[in-house]
Amino acid sequence: MSDEKDITLHATAIAIAGYGVIFTGESGSGKSDLALRLIDRGAILISDDRVILEHIDDRISLRGPEKLAGKLEIRSLGIFDFGHVADVELKMEVQLGQQVERFPMDSQQNIFLGKAVPSIRLDAMESSAPIKVEMALQKLLKDMQR
């Protein structure tokens, strides 16, 4: 277990039905764009560009830095204010990039603050990406109930 209590990542985070999803990837990989499309589908912004992960009890909590909370950059339009939430438990990481496995061999995870978090890889620019994020989270939650 890591001794760190919190870290700040270059990432974007949203809440879907109260569950935290963090998007990681290079600058320009589509983190903000995918978040915007999911917000349009009912997700709530946690933070764009920088996300604070905090180890609280046995969970990883997500929140935005005070100056960035509720702000989302929409390329070619500027920075917009959105309703936002904080202290949302991280349930899943979505790694964004263009090289995505067609059939992942097994469950993927990434370690944040000493805790394993389920992780998937997606191309954010696929038109089905928002639906894939929602379906992956639904499957994860269903698998956790077994």
**Is a pLDDT exceeding 60 seen at residue 105?**
no
Mean pLDDT of the 94-114 span: 80
The residue whose two tokens read 């090289």 is: 99
The packing angle between helices 31-40 and 129-145, to 10°, is 80
**Is a pLDDT exceeding 50 seen at residue 1?**
no
- Name the band, by pLDDT with cuts 50, 70 and 90, for residue 145: confident
What is the predicted pLDDT for the residue at 132? 96
The architecture in CATH of the region 6-145 reads: 3-Layer(aba) Sandwich (3.40)
pTM of the full predicted structure?
0.92
Tens of pLDDT, residue by residue over 18-45, are: 999 999 999 999 999 999 999 999 999 9
Catalytic residues: 10, 31, 49, 102
**Is a pLDDT exceeding 80 seen at residue 91?**
yes
Ordered by start, the domain boundaries in the chain are 6-145
Tens of pLDDT, residue by residue over 56-71, are: 999 999 999 999 989 9
